[in-house]
Amino acid sequence: MSNQSIDKASSSKPSGMDRFLNAIERVGNKIPDPAILFFWALILTWVSSALLSNVTFDLINPRTGEALQVSNLLTGEALASFLASMVTTFTGFAPLGIVLVAMLGVGVADSSGFITTALKKMLNVTPAKLLTPMLILVAIVSHTAADAGYVLVIPLGGIIFHAAGRHPLAGIAAAFAGVSGGFSANFIPSGIDPLLAGFTQTSAQILDPAYVVNPLANIFFTGFSSIIIILIGWYVTEKVIEPRLAKTPVDEDAEKAPDLGSFTELESKAFRAAGWSMMAGIALLIAAVWPESSALRSPQGEITAFSAPLMKSIVPLIFILFIIPGYVYGKVSGTFKTSNDIIKAMSATMSTMGAYIVMSFFCAQFLAAFGQSNIGTLLALYGAEGLKALDLPGEATIIGMILLTASVNLLIGSSSAKWALIGPILVPMLMAVGISPELSQAAYRVGDSVSNIISPLMVFFPLVVVYCQRYVKSTGIGTLASMMMPFSIAMLIGWSLFLVAYWMIGIPLGIQAPYTYAM
């Protein structure tokens, strides 16, 4: 064999990382359809709850103040309650309503041609080399609008990359990394800030009743973290994900990439009209929110608080702010001839959501049962107690807290629920060894973010699988998990080291309350 042949053979040998990711993909894709997965998870939860309900645990649930007890879900009363609430559990499954309502408006804007033309405009002003960081930046900022990133930015990531001649799954992965993996990175305050601060303050007051945590206690750290997440996501997308996806062809009958070439005069005219209609809608919204007595503000006059009607109306506002310019664009361009065309556009969008609706039914039943069983609470509390028992140095404790949170995140999806469980244990414990509640909260936020993108139990994970199947129909849980694993590992390492360095240098994490705990 010639030296050239040897070099070629050695270069084609997969690296250790490739073998690891390929193994994840193979194993993951052998897992049944997400709907079946959630069904069996429901059965396992029932059986486990029956077995563990007879065990006595020496743990106190911080949310109730009572001894932790696993609830038996296989009793006659529990099964009767399950059947009686099955429909409302499904209809009350929050991600389902969020996705379907938002997609109605997005479907109209897409069918009219408005989104395609908007992408043409955006790509014409965005240098090709900066497409990836720009997409991740938009994904991070989308956190301000609650779950809007999951239903808007992630699918648009696939469309944008496809239109730019790049693999659409890489665009979906980059957007997913920004929206979910970088969940706690943002330049702009959002509703999650005061929510977590409230739990942190309550936890800190267990040790010091006078301690106060400012809602923006981490705002400087999360702002700088945005830069870290963009850089990590940019590198992983272009150096790891896209080279691997080069071997994954897009299906011939997949959604075609939109033609983002030149504009016709009619397209430009329709886009201007649609743009003005959207701007008018945004101006009316600002005018409605501006007065301190606005009905869209919280009772305390706040705009970004979760109690503010504005924050509760994000999804309906997405629906309105897409359907209006979509309608205007369609009428001016001639895409929509009659009102029936709008209904057809909505119907066509809903027809693509069938698999997600089926999955949501089983996912809702499982998550409800898992929460009622207290099994997730049990595992979270034992993990926190284990971290406490290790009594590690400050730096190692922070890393340990991040790892604990990332692990618990695979079992309990709600950010506030996890912090309500482990915060009352960890915050006072770490205060006693000189780690501030604000730092504990920052470590929690890192761990809460980095494992979102590899958890099949995260409620939007199956939706992202559906987005991928638009281009590669063979995509399964394993495919998506193997794509997102490099992001998760890189963010876990890079973001954790950044937090430790940030703390050791002494840069303020955010806006501190005037009073702090003195040991």
For 392-439, the pLDDT digits (tens) are 777 888 898 899 888 877 766 666 667 766 777 778 777 766 788 999
Half-sphere exposure of 362 (CA within 13 A, CB side): 17
Which one, of 14, 30, 445, 29, lies nearest residue 222 by Cα? 445
Contact 117, 163 (CB under 8 A): no
| Dist. CA 495–CA 303, nearest whole Å | 29
What's the rounded Cα separation, in Å, for the pair 337 and 229?
Answer: 45
Dig out the tokens for 348 from the structure.
Answer: 């066509």
Q: What is the pLDDT of residue 150?
A: 81
What is the pTM for the complete model shown?
Answer: 0.70
- Considering only CA atoms, which of 426, 413, 419, 401 is closest in space to residue 495? 401
Which tokens hold the place of 197? 């601060």
Per-residue pLDDT tens digits for 311-324: 778 778 878 888 99
> For helices 461-469 and 477-505, what crossing angle results, to 10°?
130
pLDDT tens across 118-149, in order? 767 776 777 888 999 999 988 887 776 556 67
- Give 356's pLDDT tier (boundaries 50, 70, 90): confident
Quick one: pLDDT at residue 144? Answer: 61
Q: Which pLDDT score, from 0 to 100, does residue 10 have?
A: 41
pLDDT at 39 over 80: yes
pLDDT, residue 304, reads 66
**Is a pLDDT exceeding 70 seen at residue 4?**
no
- For residue 79 the two structure tokens come to 């099964």
255 or 368, which is more confident: 368
Q: How many CB atoms lie within 10 A of CB 85?
A: 13
With pLDDT > 70 as the criterion, what percentage of the chain qualifies?
82
Q: Is the pLDDT of residue 389 over 50?
A: yes
Segment 313-352, tens digit of pLDDT: 877 887 888 899 999 999 998 889 888 999 998 998 888 7
- Write down the residue that tokens 């973001």 correspond to: 495
125-154: b or e for each residue (b if 16 or more CB lie within 10 Å)? eeeeeebbbbbbbbbbbbbbbbbbbbbbbb
User: Of the candidates 99, 76, 190, which has an alpha carbon nearest to the alpha carbon of residue 464?
Assistant: 99
- pLDDT greater at residue 242 or residue 379: 242
Q: Which of 26-30, 36-40, 300-304, 401-405 has the lowest mean pLDDT?
A: 26-30
Please check the confidence at residue 82 and state whether its pLDDT lies above 90. yes
